Amino acid sequence: MRWLLMLTVVAGWGISGSRVSAADPIETARLSEQVLGELMAIPGKQIPHRLLEHAQGIAIIPNVIKVGFVAGARRGHGVVLVRDAEGEWSLPQFITLTGGSVGWQAGIQGTDVVLVFTTKKGVEGLMRGKFTIGADAAATAGPVGRNAEVATDGHLRAEIYSYSRSRGLFLGVSIDGSVLDVDHHSHGMFYGSPTGELPGHIPESAAHLRQYLGELTQGNHPRREEGGPVLAPPAPHRQLEALRRGLHQNAAQLHRILGPEWRQYLALPAEVVDPAGHPHVDVQALIAVEQRYAKIVANPAYQQLAARPEFQSTHELLREYITALTAAEPGLELPPPPAR
């Protein structure tokens, strides 16, 4: 029965492949910024800034769905931003990702995919039409870390570096053979004009995503555009919000494998799980929760739980969120100390 259900799901994806571009472009743009923010929020797990500074294009495809049993299929809807000769980023252009694989795979997976194009040739090939990863350009698993060098290729010879975050039953993602295609229909719906023409209007989500990518690719120090103001590094509140969202999502995955008593024991403060976010988070309450996680790690009786990736990723994000909140807290406004 399970096999029959899985085959039915795969067949359904095959029939609905033409509807990939029907995704809401407004939601796609919003999720793309969220995915990039969460990927860059954790120190030591980021795309290296050196790689971003040399990027010629960046594609972000949130929640690529992979359904597989013997034959697998991938479907995703995302955006690509391209750098011009002056180093400025274009507005998001909509793309679809489709592909398949063969092998003994079973499950349904949602994976966020980020592709960093290092050459003009690669990204221009994508913008001209259908682009097959592995045929038109090879993709290499990207390095991570705030100060990481590109260990596999010190001179950035790889045309595409790929990053992924899996939320389903598979570990990792393979994208060779996947096809990227410009989605002209979504572009027209979103901008009110055909691809290649000036937009009828620029939606707020598109402007925010382009601005955020510009902040990320300025380098580690503020710089001044000729004749313009000093451009600031990425805003701390954006990093905090990305960490909060990531922490909430990972904690939700952890809670799915826990019983009610454990869920209560490891529950996050209400303001962290509020989908609207919250301007004030009780750092001491978060510290108390982190201490519970630390007790589990230190106790051999709970190693089965401590070894779970859901637990480890939630614990890591919890520590990073506390560190970021503490750093963002304003100092005391005091008069000069009394005279000796």
Pull the structure tokens for residue 297: 């790690």
Q: Are strands 57-82 and 160-166 parallel, antiparallel or unpaired?
A: unpaired
Decide if pLDDT at 17 tops 80. no
Mean pLDDT of 107-117: 77
At 32, which amino acid appears? Answer: S
Mean pLDDT of 196-205: 86
Q: What is the pLDDT of residue 68?
A: 61
Q: What is the pLDDT of residue 149?
A: 52
Highest mean pLDDT out of 132-141, 240-249, 271-280, 311-320? 311-320
At 150, which amino acid appears? Answer: V
Between CA 45 and CA 284 the distance in angstroms is: 25
Between CA 268 and CA 253 the distance in angstroms is: 13
Between CA 340 and CA 337 the distance in angstroms is: 9
Pull the structure tokens for residue 36: 């990039």
Q: HSE on the CB side for 12, CA within 13 Å? A: 10
Structural contact between residues 57 and 126, judged by C-beta atoms closer than 8 angstroms = yes
Decide if pLDDT at 191 tops 80. yes
Q: What is the pLDDT of residue 174?
A: 65
Decide if pLDDT at 85 tops 80. yes
Q: What is the pLDDT of residue 69?
A: 56
**Annotated domain spans of the chain:** 2-218, 238-328
| Alpha-helical segments (H) within 135-203 | 184-191
Decide if pLDDT at 201 tops 70. yes
Decide if pLDDT at 233 tops 70. no
Between CA 248 and CA 243 the distance in angstroms is: 9
Closest listed residue to residue 250, CA positions, set 320, 302, 323: 320
Decide if pLDDT at 227 tops 50. no
Structural contact between residues 110 and 167, judged by C-beta atoms closer than 8 angstroms = yes
Decide if pLDDT at 60 tops 80. yes
Mean pLDDT of 213-219: 79
Structural contact between residues 188 and 201, judged by C-beta atoms closer than 8 angstroms = no
Tokens 């698993």 label which residue? 141
Between CA 303 and CA 292 the distance in angstroms is: 14
Provide, rounded to the nearest whole percent, the portion of the chain with pLDDT above 70. Answer: 71
